[in-house]
Structure 1
Amino acid sequence: MKKVLPPCCVMLMALGLFISSSALAQSSYSNFDQLTDRLEKLESDYRNLAELTSLDKTLDGREIWVLTIGKGDVEDHPAIAVVGGAKGSHIYGSELAITFAEKLLGNSDSQEIQDLLASTTFYVFPRINPDATEEYFASLKYERDANSHPTNDDRDDVSSEDHFDDLNNDRLITLFRVEDETGKWMIHPDEERLLKKADISKGEKGTHHVYTEGQDNDGDGAFNEDPKGGVNINKNFTYDYPYFEPGAGENMASQIETRAVLDFLYEEVSNVFSVVSFGPSNNLSSAIRFNRAGVSKRVITGWYKEDVSVNELVSEKYNEITKLKDAPGNSGQKGDFFQWAYFHYGRYSFVTPGWAIPEVKDEDDKPRKFNNDEAHFLAWADQTDLDVFVEWEEVEHPDFPGKKVEVGGIKPYVLYTPPYRFVDSLAQSHTDFIVELAGMKPDVQLVNLTIEDAGENLSRITVDVYNNGVLPTASRLGERNSWVKKVNINLTLSDGLHLLSGDIHDIVRSIEGDGSVKKSWLVRGKGSFTITAGSPNSGFSTVEQTIR
C-alpha cells in the first residue's frame, strides 16, 4: 500500500477551498418529495454527468433512488458508492449524501473535477429506507428505523397492535418513568434530567422503571413492542444477520429496499472499489482494530491486517479533513449495511455519523469531561440555546394507577441530527474527504514495455502491470470474493504472430498500491499485438505495438 499521494490527489486536497455551495438554497432537511426534486434538478442541470435511476418502489410507493455521476464509460471507471439513510432515523446521513452530489456537480466546470469525473464514477444512494425517514416530518414524531412492511415482532399473530402513545399530547414520543423502589434506573448524578442504570456494585439502588412513551395496548405486559411497521433495513443485510431479533425481518434480504441495493451493486455494476456510508457506526474517526482470532475462522468476523492498514490510512485523511477524530467509534451492528459492504461485498467499507457533539468548555474556558454522551449533548445544547429536551411532566397512566408517572426526555432525532445551519460546512468537509478518497483509487497502468530480439524470428515481449494508485486493486477480503473483479491481463496477436510461451490470458488477484507485476511472452513472427490489463474497479490500460 502506497502512502505517498500522486500529484493529482495532492491537487484535489485543496478542493474544499473552491467547491461551490449547494446549487439549491436549502434551509432545512428534505422530505422525500423535496429530495426527489433535488435529484431531478441535478440530472436536468448536468445531463452529461448525472443519471437518476429508480431501483424499485417501497410499499408506500417511494422510489429508491441512485444517482450515477461520471463521464464517459462510467461502468469501466473505478467507483465509490455513497450511501445515506440505511438507518431510517439518521436523516442527517441522507442529507450528507445528496449534498455531496450537489457540491461535486456544482464544481464540475473546474478542471480538477472534470479530470476526476473522467476517471472515477460515483453511485449516490441518498436514502435507501425512505418510508422510515419520512417519519421525521410526521405530525407525531418518533425515531423510526423500520419500513412499512407489516411485522409481528412480539409473535402474537397480530401486527402493529402496540404502537406508541402520546401521553402528554406534545406530538413527541420520548420516555416515561415510574417511581418505584423495584426499578432498576436512578436519576443521573451528573445530570438530573437523565436517568442511568443503577450499579449495585457501587452501592447504587434503582428508583424508577423507564419505558418508551406509550401504553400496554395489547395487555401483554410490554410497552410499544409491536409498533407501526416494519423492518429495519439496517438489520436486514446478509452479514451476521440477527435471526429472530425484532426489526430484522423474517429472513435476511427480505425487504424491497435491501434487495434493490444488493441487486444493483451485485448485478448492475462491478466497478465499486470503496463504499462510504453515513450512519451510526464509525470506522473513520478511529479505524477498525485488527483481530487475529476474527480472521482465523472459516467464516471470518474481523478485518484482515492489510485492510486494517488501509482503514488506518483513510481514517488519518478523514480526520485531517473533517476534524472529527473525537467522534465515538462503533464497529457496527448485526445485519447492517456497513459490515455487509466489507464482509460480503468485499469492498473497502467506511462509515461515519458525520458529526460529533462539539466541545463544551467550563467557566475557566477549559474542556469539560463527560462520561455520558447524552449529558454532553445537553450541556452543549444549553450553551447553544437549543430546545432539545421535554421537561419531565407528571401524567395519569392507566397501566400504573396510584404511581407517580412522568413523561419527558431528549426529543426525537436531535441527538444525532445537527441543526441544519451546520450542515453545509459539514457536507463540504465530507465532500472534500470523498474526493480525496477518489484520488487514492487503484489505477492500473501498463509501463516499461520492451521488445527484445531473441533470434531466429523470435521476440520477447515484457511489460510491467503497475498500480499507480494508493489503494490495492482489491481488498485482502476481496481477493477471496468472487464479486470483486480481479486484474485481467490479455495478449492479442495478429495473424503473423504466434505465441510460444506465456499466458494469453492471466488473472492477478490484487496489486498493492505502487506495486507491479511483470509479464513476459515469447512470440514468433512479425505483426502487431495488443496488451490490455485492468478491471472495472481498478481501471483499464492498453498498449499496442508492432514487431517488424
Structure 2
Amino acid sequence: MRKNYLSVLSGLGIALLLPFTALSQTDYPNLAQIGQRLQSVARDNAATLTSLTKTEGGKDIWVLKIGRGDMDNKPGVAVVGGVEGYHLLSVELALQFAEKLVAERSEALENTTFYVFPNMSPDAYEQYFSGLKFERRGNAAKVDHDRDGSMGEDTYEDLNKDGLITMMRVESPMGDHIPSSTDERVMVKANVSKGERGRYLMYTEGIDNDKDGNFNEDPAEGIAFNKNLTYKFPAFEPLAGDYPVSQKESRAMVDYLFDRWNIFAFITFGPANNLSSPLKYHAGDAKKRVVTSILEKDMAINAMISELYNETITAKAHQQKDQGTDGDFFQWAYFHFARLSFSTPGWWVPEMKNEEGKVIEDASENFLAYAQQEAMESVFVPWTKVDHPDFKGQNVEVGGIKPFLMNNPSYNKVGQLADEHTDFILKLAEMQPKLEFHNMISEKLGNGLTRITADLFNNSPLPTHSEMGAQSRWLRKIRVDINSEKKDIIAGDKIMLIDKMGPFEKQTISWIVKGSGNVEVKAGAAHVGFANLNVRL
C-alpha cells in the first residue's frame, strides 16, 4: 500500500498553496481543490491522510483516518463518498464532515475513530469539469462493454455542440414515447391502455458508430466502483467488470477495510437509501443460502437509526426508493462485511404539486416544477433539430434536463446539508457499543481464596454485533481476559469469549482466585471498545 501523509500533492502547482476553504466555493470542487482541502485537514494532529492507490486515470483514492489514542482499537465509523461519479454532493458531504470534525467537533474523537473515504470514483467525478459533461459512472480502465472486440468505439457524441450529453428523440410511427400532457418538454411512455399512440423513439445523445442497432453501448469509460463489489455481483453487465473487486480502487479499499476490525458502522453517501426509509425484513429471503434480506434484529436497528435520521435531517425523501443495487458498496458493507450499513443520497428533489394540488408523479416533471419554484435558470436544453446520419430523412431532436442537476442540489444548499449530516453521523457515533464493568464484588473465602464477581454491561442502544455479523461469524467475539500472573485461577476461565451482547444487556462473570495483590480484567473487541477492571484481592 502506498502512503502519502502530509506531502504536497504532486503536479498541482503553486496556485494550490494559496489559502482555501469550503466557504470560498461557489460550485462543487474539482479534484485539485479536493486534494488541497484534504491536505489542510491532515495538518491537524488527529488526522492522517493516506493514498490507498491510484486509479487507471492516475487519480488518488484517499482515506482520512481521524481520531486519538489507540485509534484501531476503539469503535470506528466509516464515511464514504463518491461511490457514484455523478453524485457530486456525496463527495462534498464526506469532505465537509471531515473538515467540521477536526475544526468544530473534535470532542467526538475521544471515543470514536472516523475513516473518511471522500471520493471512490475520481475518474468519473472529473467528467463534471470536462468540456463534455455527462453523468459518468465508469473509471478510466479500457473496457469492451459490448464485447465485440473493440474498446470504446460506440460512445456519446455531442450532436448539438452544447458541451452536454442529454437525450435524443426520433419521430417514428414505431415510437413508444410522447410529450407529457402537462409539460410537453418531458417525454413519457405512451399509455396504450388509454388509447395513446407513441410518436418518438428515445436514445441517449449519440451515433450508432458500430452500426449494430444500439446507441452508446460501448462508452469510453471503464468500470463503475458501485457495481464492482462482491454482493450479488452483476456478471456480464456493462460497467461491472469481468469479476468482483477487479479494479484498483475497489481492491485497495477492501484490503484496507479488512485490516480495520474496529469499524462498527458505515455511512455511505450514494443513491441507495435505507435512512429516510428503512429496509424491510423478508423471512424467506433471509433463509436463502445467499441471504438477500436484512435480518430481523438488524431491521429493528435500521428503523431506530432511520428515525434518528429523519429527526436530524430537514429534507424529506419522497420519490427516492432505491434501497440498493447489485454489486454496490452499501449492500456489501452489510451482507459481506457484516457491519451496520446505512446509505443516503443526502438530498432529494422536493415533492411538488400541480395546479390541482396533486403530487407530480413523473420525476422529470417534478424537477422542472421545483426548478421553476427556485428560479433556477438554464436547467433544460430545448429540443433542437439535428441532422443524424443514422436517421436520414427523419425528424431527430436533441434536448432534455441538463446532466447532474437532478442528483445534486445547487451548491449554496450544501452547507446546511453538511451541517445536518455531520450532526447525524456524530449522534450515531455516540450510540456506539460501550462495554463497562459494574457491581464488582470481591469476597474472601479463606485459605487465600477470593471470589471475584462483576457484571459486564453494554451501555448502548446498539448491540455489540449486528445479527448478520453474529450469523456470519465474521466479527470478532468479545474477549474477557483475567491477568493471573503469580496467582492461580481456581474457578472460571482465564480467557472467555462472548458471542454478542444486546442493547443494554449485562452478563455476570465470576472467578475464584488464589493469591494476593491485584488482578486486572480486560473485556472487549476492537469494534466495541475495551473495559478494564482492577481488583484488590
For normalisation by structure 2, the TM-score amounts to 0.93
Does the alignment pair 1:226 with 2:223?
no
In structure 2, the CA distance between the partners of 1:322 and 1:367, relative to structure 1 (3 Å rule), is farther
Question: In structure 2, how many angstroms separate the alpha carbons of the residues matched to 1:481 and 1:36?
Answer: 38
The answer to whether the Cα contact below 8 Å between 2:388 and 2:396 also exists between their aligned partners in 1 is yes
Does the alignment pair 1:466 with 2:463?
no
Match for residue 426 of structure 2? Answer: 435
Deviations 1:287-311 (A, max 9, x none): 0011111111122111111101111
Match for residue 528 of structure 1? Answer: 518
Match for residue 80 of structure 1? Answer: 77
Residue 122 of structure 1: SS of its match in structure 2?
strand
Deviations 1:419-447 (A, max 9, x none): 00000011111011001111111111122
Match for residue 3 of structure 2? Answer: none
Match for residue 13 of structure 2? Answer: none
Does the alignment pair 1:182 with 2:174?
yes
Tell me the amino acid that sits aligned with residue 473 of structure 1.
Answer: T
| Matched ranges for 1:352-431 at <5 A | 352-360=344-352, 368-386=358-376, 387-431=378-422
| Matched ranges for 1:505-524 at <5 A | 505-524=495-514
Residue 477 of structure 1: SS of its match in structure 2?
helix
Question: In structure 2, how many angstroms separate the alpha carbons of the residues matched to 1:359 and 1:334?
Answer: 27
Match for residue 3 of structure 1? Answer: none
Match for residue 292 of structure 1? Answer: 283
| Matched ranges for 1:102-501 at <5 A | 102-108=99-105, 113-114=106-107, 116-267=108-259, 269-327=260-318, 328-360=320-352, 368-386=358-376, 387-495=378-486, 497-501=487-491
The answer to whether the Cα contact below 8 Å between 1:270 and 1:483 also exists between their aligned partners in 2 is no
- 1:196 positional shift: 1.8
Question: In structure 1, how many angstroms separate the alpha carbons of the residues matched to 2:188 and 2:354?
Answer: 24
Tell me the amino acid that sits aligned with residue 534 of structure 2.
Answer: E
Match for residue 25 of structure 1? Answer: 24
- 1:502 positional shift: 1.5
- 1:237 positional shift: 0.4
Tell me the amino acid that sits aligned with residue 51 of structure 2.
Answer: S
Residue 467 of structure 2: SS of its match in structure 1?
coil
Match among 74, 85, 89 for residue 86 of structure 2: 89
Deviations 1:365-395 (A, max 9, x none): x965111121111101012121211010111
Deviations 1:53-79 (A, max 9, x none): 110111111110001111111111111
In structure 2, the CA distance between the partners of 1:51 and 1:368, relative to structure 1 (3 Å rule), is farther
The answer to whether the Cα contact below 8 Å between 1:451 and 1:462 also exists between their aligned partners in 2 is yes
What residue ranges of structure 1 are gaps of 5+ in the alignment? Answer: 1-20
- 1:342 positional shift: 0.3
- 1:245 positional shift: 0.6
In structure 2, the CA distance between the partners of 1:204 and 1:503, relative to structure 1 (3 Å rule), is farther
In structure 2, the CA distance between the partners of 1:244 and 1:362, relative to structure 1 (3 Å rule), is closer
The answer to whether the Cα contact below 8 Å between 1:464 and 1:517 also exists between their aligned partners in 2 is yes
The answer to whether the Cα contact below 8 Å between 2:435 and 2:530 also exists between their aligned partners in 1 is yes
Tell me the amino acid that sits aligned with residue 61 of structure 1.
Answer: G
Residues paired across the two proteins, number: 516
The answer to whether the Cα contact below 8 Å between 2:21 and 2:37 also exists between their aligned partners in 1 is no
Question: In structure 1, how many angstroms separate the alpha carbons of the residues matched to 2:464 and 2:156?
Answer: 49
The answer to whether the Cα contact below 8 Å between 1:70 and 1:117 also exists between their aligned partners in 2 is yes
The answer to whether the Cα contact below 8 Å between 1:359 and 1:367 also exists between their aligned partners in 2 is no
Match for residue 8 of structure 2? Answer: none
What residue ranges of structure 2 are gaps of 5+ in the alignment? Answer: 1-19
The answer to whether the Cα contact below 8 Å between 2:351 and 2:359 also exists between their aligned partners in 1 is no
CA RMSD of aligned residues (A): 1.6
Match for residue 12 of structure 1? Answer: none
Tell me the amino acid that sits aligned with residue 91 of structure 2.
Answer: S
Deviations 1:19-73 (A, max 9, x none): xx966532221111110000001112x1x21110110111111110001111111
Bigger drift between 520-529 and 441-450 goes to 520-529
Question: In structure 2, how many angstroms separate the alpha carbons of the residues matched to 1:397 and 1:202?
Answer: 32
The answer to whether the Cα contact below 8 Å between 2:225 and 2:249 also exists between their aligned partners in 1 is yes
The answer to whether the Cα contact below 8 Å between 2:57 and 2:141 also exists between their aligned partners in 1 is no
Identical residues among aligned pairs (%): 44
- 1:186 positional shift: 2.0
Question: In structure 2, how many angstroms separate the alpha carbons of the residues matched to 1:457 and 1:372?
Answer: 79
The answer to whether the Cα contact below 8 Å between 1:493 and 1:528 also exists between their aligned partners in 2 is no
Tell me the amino acid that sits aligned with residue 272 of structure 2.
Answer: S
Which of 1 and 2 has higher RCO (CA within 8 Å, sep 6+)? 1
In structure 2, the CA distance between the partners of 1:80 and 1:460, relative to structure 1 (3 Å rule), is same
Deviations 1:449-481 (A, max 9, x none): 111223443222111111112211110001133
Question: In structure 2, how many angstroms separate the alpha carbons of the residues matched to 1:442 and 1:368?
Answer: 45
Question: In structure 2, how many angstroms separate the alpha carbons of the residues matched to 1:325 and 1:482?
Answer: 36
Question: In structure 1, how many angstroms separate the alpha carbons of the residues matched to 2:481 and 2:23?
Answer: 47
Bigger drift between 318-327 and 251-260 goes to 318-327
Tell me the amino acid that sits aligned with residue 63 of structure 1.
Answer: D
- 1:507 positional shift: 1.5
Tell me the amino acid that sits aligned with residue 284 of structure 1.
Answer: L
Give structure 1 regions of 4+ aligned residues with deviation exceeding 6 angstroms. none
The answer to whether the Cα contact below 8 Å between 2:316 and 2:350 also exists between their aligned partners in 1 is no
In structure 2, the CA distance between the partners of 1:504 and 1:174, relative to structure 1 (3 Å rule), is same
